[in-house]
Amino acid sequence: MGGRGRSRTQRKHFAQNRENNWKYTNNDSEHQQNRENTNSTWKSFVTQNLAFEQYYKEQGIVPPEEWGTFMDCLQSELPAAFRINSSSQCYLEIQAKLENDFMKSLQEEGTDGSEVVAIKPLPWYPENLAWQSTFSRKQLRKNKILERFHEFLKLQNEIGNITRQEAVSMVPPLFLNVRPDDFILDMCAAPGSKTFQLLEMIHHSAEPGSVPGGMVLANDVDVQRCNLLIHQTKRMSTANLIVTNHEAQHFPSCHLNRSYAKGSEPRETKELDIDQLLFDRVLCDVPCSGDGTLRKAPDIWRRWNAGMGNGLHGLQVQIAMRGMSLLKVGGRMVYSTCSMNPIENEAVVAEILRRCGSSVELVDVSIELPQLARRPGLKRWKVQDKGMWLTSFSEVHDSRRAAVVPGMFPSGIGYVDAPGHGDGARRSHLPDNGSNDDSQNGIGMVQDPATPTILAEEASTLPLERCVRIVPHDQNSGAFFIAVFHKLSPLPVIQKKPCWPGKMTSTGNFQSQSFPKVKDINADEVEQVDSVGNQLSEATMDDADILENGKDEAPLDADCTKILDEKRLQFEPSSDGRAGPELVRGRGKLQTQGRWRGVDPILFYRDEAAVGQIKAFYGIKESFPFKGHLIVRNSDISHVKRVYYVSKSVKEVLELNFLAGEQLKIAAVGLKMFERQKDVSAQCVFRITSEGLPLLLPHITKQIVYASPVDFKDLLQYKSIKFGDFGDSEFREKASKLQFGCCAVILNKDNKTLSEPQVDASTISIGCWRGRNSVTVMVIELDIQELLERILMYLEEDSDSSLLENKSLITAEADKIVKAD
Ligand SMILES: C[S@@+](CC[C@H](N)C(=O)[O-])C[C@H]1O[C@@H](n2cnc3c(N)ncnc32)[C@H](O)[C@@H]1O
């Protein structure tokens, strides 16, 4: 399929098979025409919504002369985009394949005879790591000519070498300026594409076998989506991740509390580096109406209404405020949505600035990512409620004050009902943020109650132009909104202003109305929350609050490893990995993780004998931080099935969490490094997992054997080979001298004589099982397929004809696997 030398006829056929979704003209009548002839693949969806058009025209999110182009773009399918995982072993190979193979083979001939680029790196993404094609995902699936490229994307995505992700969704993590040692909180993380990106960033420059100093704590309220996130991030094989399941607006504080340590199992917590869980970077990619994804999810056209954004504003403010309180001084927080609605964007940013006052600044990022086309944030907008346009809170009818709050308006100014209200009497302003009167920022614009209110259209005096708006037609993408905050000092004690539905009384108190299950974010930080004006301090969470929050949460299926495990186990002899904690639950015993019922526990693995046996069997070097870094998820230590490895950073957070009374409800943590095997003849019952091997390999001195390219290929192809059938006598001899049990087979690319194990970034290795008479591969089919393809590529470069003879066999094997998948 495909290939560099594709003929002209093929190219024309290819051109006819796809829509021309990269060419736009500026002629408006043409646009109208285009819109009427909505492209065929979208016929099943209505791609119009008059309320949408009326709303955004009125909000002025693009100038009137661009409206046609904007709508045309929204009504066309989104080009597919993907990111190369820079921490993957073969990311340079993937880059080379895209540049040297697909970029050329997918080129299309333009109408004027010129070549049109079909895939290209996104110019604003560093190091050519992100790519965009001119085909939509649907076209990739359906178009025969794109089949080879599509198969490539699918395979690399599953393995974790690339992540298919909408281009603009890659932007927020870039604005976080992540460093390898950062502690990062991803507050609304599922399904996890940005979490994956954040992990890539902290792992980017890590040497093989080294663990970066930072960590990512990825949180989501939705259990099912949390499971997706865990599945997604498993492809990363990282020891630096914790996944939690909380409402972000109530994300717990973890404060060192020595009293919790009493009576619990002994922990190595004498010297904790941290005594409070705060983060260097916080990502608030909040739930939103999502109309920036219309090109990818056209069903939103049908569902869209202005109320969607209004309904989310309060929650978005709460989540962002909680994020801000968990951010370290000097840290950066990114607030983002895939919505175009100013109520979910600028209005939220303005409210954060008003609440945080001079503790926080909105960062001007105009010189960052210079190639990214963006527009400044809006300073003026209106609120639409029940079809009515409102320019200030004074216009909100009493009966609607539960739904429309002052913070939604550019000034953020609320009003109290003055005597005589209802018959057109004057209204006076309420203090917005008493202790943060910062006229430069436009904060605390408290008007003299005697001054008559001017009901002119409001404009914010906050520097909202620093926000980043990405509109679809600037670079043929989805729409996104991003705001970057810098925390300058601890959050001040401020007059708290409610943002949830409610009503101001004439005494200035706020009567909360129904906003079920959503407390004000600052509730976590104040002693009493029932009226405006409570004291706000830095993050402290009352334990009782957490218990209360936890009560009605659904039990979490913490063992999300099972999706992948089920695949893996098909090829792994004697594995008892299925007997996970969910089976224990099946027998009627509900696991508990501290205070969290239905969640598998987190325990440091302190079985000295077992840990010592693992260490001795694989000859794990003293220099490798091992003891104290192992975690199990089963309270019955005698039945440990999986052992997870955690980085120093994650270890610290876990230890702090224990000392804080297990505030965090942890769904997944660390890297699965060992798994128990049933084979009793093995000296060590724990095998090294495929995901654990790359990290451990540079640190083990035993159970390693080097294989020639031919023997390595044979192993992958036949899965199990008797000692006598290996071609290389040295390998045969060395393999037969290994102890029974798990071993690592390393590809000796150059057939060198190696006395010492040598591991670098290009080392290819697989986990195997040394049985009585044979060696058996313990790798899932998908990885086998990828490895076979890489070896094929390597053989292509090699001039040894005896190796080349095997090429067709390998290709056939790889094809067989693709088809079976
Ligand atoms: C825009 S999506 C996040 C996308 C994600 N950051 C990514 O890049 O893959 C919003 C997420 O917020 C979650 N969510 C909704 N309400 C939440 C809350 N109160 N606390 C935490 N997460 C919430 C949803 O389950 C959803 O997964």
pLDDT, tens digit (0-9, with 9 covering 90-100), for 208-221: 788 999 999 999 99
Least confident stretch, 333-347, 412-426, 542-556: 542-556
Instruction: For ligand 1, pick from 201, 219, 220 the residue to mutate: most ligand atoms within 8 Å of CB.
Output: 220
Q: Is residue 353 scored above 60 in pLDDT?
A: yes
Helix (H, G, I), strand (E, B) or coil at 746: strand
CA 11 to centroid of ligand 1, rounded, Å: 42
Domain boundary among 139, 166, 193: 166
Q: How many domains does the chain have?
A: 3
Q: Is residue 298 scored above 70 in pLDDT?
A: yes
Q: Which run of H or E residues covers position 580?
A: none
pLDDT in the model for residue 12: 38
Taking the CA of residue 187 as reference, the ligand 1 atom at the shortest distance is 21
Of all protein residues, whose CA lies closest to atom 19 belonging to ligand 1?
247
Taking the CA of residue 222 as reference, the ligand 1 atom at the shortest distance is 25
pLDDT in tens, 580-594: 233 233 445 678 888
According to the annotation, is 285 in a ligand binding site? yes
Higher pLDDT, 106 or 481: 481
Q: Is residue 806 scored above 50 in pLDDT?
A: no
- Dig out the tokens for 206 from the structure: 């890590």
Higher pLDDT, 533 or 274: 274
According to the annotation, is 744 in a ligand binding site? no
Please answer whether residues 217 and 245 qualify as being in contact, where contact means their C-beta atoms are separated by less than 8 angstroms.
no
**Mean pLDDT over the full length of the chain:** 77
**Dist CA 205 CA 493 (whole Å):** 40
Instruction: For ligand 1, pick from 165, 195, 222, 517 the residue to mutate: most ligand atoms within 8 Å of CB.
Output: 222
Say whether both 668 and 708 belong to one domain. no
| pTM passes above 0.90 | no
Taking the CA of residue 285 as reference, the ligand 1 atom at the shortest distance is 6
Say whether both 737 and 796 belong to one domain. yes
Residue 815 in any domain: the answer is: yes
190 touches ligand 1 (CB under 6 Å): yes
CA 741 to centroid of ligand 1, rounded, Å: 43
249 touches ligand 1 (CB under 6 Å): yes
Of all protein residues, whose CA lies closest to atom 17 belonging to ligand 1?
221
156 touches ligand 1 (CB under 6 Å): no
225 touches ligand 1 (CB under 6 Å): yes
Enclosing domain of residue 738: 703-820
CA 285 to centroid of ligand 1, rounded, Å: 7
Domain boundary among 166, 184, 208: 166
Q: Which residue type sits at 785?
A: Q
CA 28 to centroid of ligand 1, rounded, Å: 38
* Cβ-proximal residues to 73 (8 Å cutoff; 6+ apart), any chain: 24, 295, 472, 473, 476
Does the N-terminal peptide bond of residue 191 adopt cis geometry, omega within 30 degrees of 0? yes
According to the annotation, is 193 in a ligand binding site? yes
Burial class (CB in 10 A: 0-12, 13-18, 19+), 275: middle
Taking the CA of residue 248 as reference, the ligand 1 atom at the shortest distance is 20
221 touches ligand 1 (CB under 6 Å): yes
According to the annotation, is 273 in a ligand binding site? no
Least confident stretch, 326-340, 437-451, 529-543, 796-810: 529-543
Say whether both 625 and 709 belong to one domain. no
Q: Which residue type sits at 51?
A: A
- Dig out the tokens for 78 from the structure: 């989104």
CA 442 to centroid of ligand 1, rounded, Å: 31
pLDDT in the model for residue 614: 96
According to the annotation, is 194 in a ligand binding site? yes
CA 220 to centroid of ligand 1, rounded, Å: 6
E-strand stretches of 581-722: 592-593, 596-597, 603-604, 630-632, 642-645, 666-669, 671-676, 686-688, 704-707, 720-722
pLDDT in the model for residue 87: 86
According to the annotation, is 189 in a ligand binding site? yes
Q: Is residue 554 scored above 70 in pLDDT?
A: no
Say whether both 672 and 724 belong to one domain. no
According to the annotation, is 270 in a ligand binding site? no
Confidence of residue 250 (pLDDT cuts 50, 70, 90): very high
Of all protein residues, whose CA lies closest to atom 1 belonging to ligand 1?
287
Higher pLDDT, 751 or 720: 720
Of 785, 773, 780, give the one whose Cα is nearest residue 815: 785
Instruction: For ligand 1, pick from 83, 170, 176, 188 the residue to mutate: most ligand atoms within 8 Å of CB.
Output: 188
Residue 792 in any domain: the answer is: yes
575 touches ligand 1 (CB under 6 Å): no
**Dist CA 706 CA 735 (whole Å):** 9
Q: Given phi > 0 = left and psi -120 to 50 = alpha, else beta, which region is 307?
A: alpha
**Dist CA 337 CA 481 (whole Å):** 5
Virtual CA dihedral for 55, 56, 57, 61, nearest 10 degrees? 150
Residue 68 in any domain: the answer is: yes
Of all protein residues, whose CA lies closest to atom 15 belonging to ligand 1?
287
Q: Residues 674, 675, 680, 681: is their CA dihedral positive or negative?
A: negative
Say whether both 162 and 17 belong to one domain. yes
CA 248 to centroid of ligand 1, rounded, Å: 9
- Dig out the tokens for 110 from the structure: 């333009």
CA 817 to centroid of ligand 1, rounded, Å: 35
**Dist CA 331 CA 353 (whole Å):** 16
List of long-range contacts for 108-112, beta carbons under 8 Å, 24+ apart: 108/11, 108/14, 108/15, 108/18, 108/134, 109/8, 109/11, 109/12, 109/15
189 touches ligand 1 (CB under 6 Å): yes
Least confident stretch, 110-119, 215-224, 316-325, 795-804: 795-804
Taking the CA of residue 194 as reference, the ligand 1 atom at the shortest distance is 8
553 touches ligand 1 (CB under 6 Å): no
pLDDT in the model for residue 796: 66
Residue 255 in any domain: the answer is: no
Of all protein residues, whose CA lies closest to atom 27 belonging to ligand 1?
190
pLDDT in the model for residue 43: 54
**Dist CA 682 CA 324 (whole Å):** 52
Q: Given phi > 0 = left and psi -120 to 50 = alpha, else beta, which region is 113?
A: left
pLDDT in the model for residue 258: 62
**Dist CA 707 CA 730 (whole Å):** 9
- Dig out the tokens for 371 from the structure: 């190639």
Task: State the number of CA atoms in the 13 A half-sphere of 499 facing the CB.
Answer: 34
220 touches ligand 1 (CB under 6 Å): yes
193 touches ligand 1 (CB under 6 Å): yes
pLDDT in the model for residue 33: 47
pLDDT in the model for residue 84: 96
Alpha-helical segments (H) within 25-146: 28-36, 50-59, 67-74, 91-97, 103-105, 137-142
Q: DSSP characters for 210-241?
A: ---S-EEEEE-S-HHHHHHHHHHHHTT--SSE
Say whether both 667 and 710 belong to one domain. no
Q: Which run of H or E residues covers position 285?
A: strand 279-285
Q: Is residue 4 scored above 90 in pLDDT?
A: no
Domain boundary among 653, 687, 721: 687
pLDDT in the model for residue 270: 55
According to the annotation, is 105 in a ligand binding site? no
Q: Which run of H or E residues covers position 485?
A: strand 480-487
Q: Is residue 350 scored above 70 in pLDDT?
A: yes
Any idea which residues carry the catalytic annotation? 338
**Dist CA 369 CA 470 (whole Å):** 13
Taking the CA of residue 338 as reference, the ligand 1 atom at the shortest distance is 1
Average pLDDT over residues 199-227: 93
Average pLDDT over residues 513-539: 29
Q: Which run of H or E residues covers position 252?
A: none
Please answer whether residues 350 and 459 qualify as being in contact, where contact means their C-beta atoms are separated by less than 8 angstroms.
no
Tokens 């090429």 belong to 807
Say whether both 677 and 791 belong to one domain. no
- Dig out the tokens for 791 from the structure: 């070896």
Please answer whether residues 470 and 373 qualify as being in contact, where contact means their C-beta atoms are separated by less than 8 angstroms.
yes
pLDDT in the model for residue 793: 72
Residue 118 in any domain: the answer is: yes
Taking the CA of residue 290 as reference, the ligand 1 atom at the shortest distance is 1
Least confident stretch, 125-129, 171-175, 352-356, 438-442: 438-442
Say whether both 646 and 759 belong to one domain. no
Alpha-helical segments (H) within 552-667: 562-569, 581-586, 608-618, 648-659
Residue 600 in any domain: the answer is: yes
pLDDT in the model for residue 274: 75
Residue 751 in any domain: the answer is: yes
248 touches ligand 1 (CB under 6 Å): yes
Taking the CA of residue 229 as reference, the ligand 1 atom at the shortest distance is 9
Q: Is residue 803 scored above 90 in pLDDT?
A: no
192 touches ligand 1 (CB under 6 Å): yes
Q: Report residue 132: phi and psi, to 5°.
A: -130, 140
Higher pLDDT, 139 or 623: 623
Average pLDDT over residues 13-33: 37
Say whether both 679 and 734 belong to one domain. no
CA 188 to centroid of ligand 1, rounded, Å: 4
Higher pLDDT, 302 or 757: 302
194 touches ligand 1 (CB under 6 Å): yes
Say whether both 81 and 123 belong to one domain. yes
CA 225 to centroid of ligand 1, rounded, Å: 8
Taking the CA of residue 283 as reference, the ligand 1 atom at the shortest distance is 6
According to the annotation, is 186 in a ligand binding site? no
* Cβ-proximal residues to 415 (8 Å cutoff; 6+ apart), any chain: 393, 394, 406, 427, 428, 429, 430, 453, 504
191 touches ligand 1 (CB under 6 Å): yes
pLDDT in the model for residue 343: 98
Of all protein residues, whose CA lies closest to atom 18 belonging to ligand 1?
247
Least confident stretch, 168-182, 626-640, 788-802, 803-817: 803-817
pLDDT in the model for residue 137: 84
CA 286 to centroid of ligand 1, rounded, Å: 6
**Dist CA 405 CA 313 (whole Å):** 9
Please answer whether residues 411 and 405 qualify as being in contact, where contact means their C-beta atoms are separated by less than 8 angstroms.
no
CA 169 to centroid of ligand 1, rounded, Å: 13
pLDDT in the model for residue 798: 60
Higher pLDDT, 798 or 120: 120
Q: Is residue 286 scored above 60 in pLDDT?
A: yes
164 touches ligand 1 (CB under 6 Å): no
Say whether both 722 and 679 belong to one domain. no
171 touches ligand 1 (CB under 6 Å): no
Virtual CA dihedral for 210, 215, 218, 224, nearest 10 degrees? 30
Say whether both 162 and 71 belong to one domain. yes
- Dig out the tokens for 527 from the structure: 């002693």
Least confident stretch, 119-133, 501-515, 544-558: 544-558
Helix (H, G, I), strand (E, B) or coil at 90: coil
Please answer whether residues 383 and 412 qualify as being in contact, where contact means their C-beta atoms are separated by less than 8 angstroms.
no
Residue 21 in any domain: the answer is: yes
Higher pLDDT, 26 or 685: 685
Q: Is residue 776 scored above 60 in pLDDT?
A: yes
Give CA separation, 340 vs 52, 378, 481, in Å: 11, 11, 7
Pairing of the two strands 741-747 and 686-688: unpaired
